[in-house]
Amino acid sequence: MKKIEAIIKPFKMENVREALSEIGVSGMTVTEVKGFGRQKGHSELYRGAEYHVGFLPKHKIDLVVPDDLVERAIEVILDNARTGKIGDGKIFVSDIERAIRIRTGEENEEAV
């Protein structure tokens, strides 16, 4: 099993969620986060004054999938989150040693 963490633009969240559901991803956690990467934030005008916004709003998606679904899930996130502009986000993939469903005690893929 692998854990996929994706940081994406907020307005792309619904597209990504629907596409992941279509390929069989049964659950995920979404968190509203703020951060910056290479774009280092941006400047905005407010009442005629310019100010710098250092942290940009993003959505972080966490999901755990079986090994055979990892590449497809990554493709789906890429296809549905990409705008082609700076700040589209990142995807991180890491190994999961063990997963346990608290309610039933099921483990690993049965718990996901």
Reported as a single tens digit per residue, the pLDDT across 27-68 is 999 999 988 777 665 555 556 666 666 778 899 999 999 999
CB-count exposure of residue 4 (10 Å: 0-12, 13-18, 19+): buried
How confident is the model at residue 56, as a pLDDT? 83
Distance CA 49, CA 96 (A): 48
The length of the chain, given as a count of residues: 112
Mean pLDDT of the chain: 89
CATH fit for domain 2-110, picks 3.40.50.300, 3.40.50.720, 3.30.70.120, 3.20.20.140: 3.30.70.120
Task: Give dist(CA 58, CA 37) in Å, integer.
Answer: 11
More confident residue, 11 or 47: 11
Give domain limits for the chain.
2-110
Reported pTM: 0.84
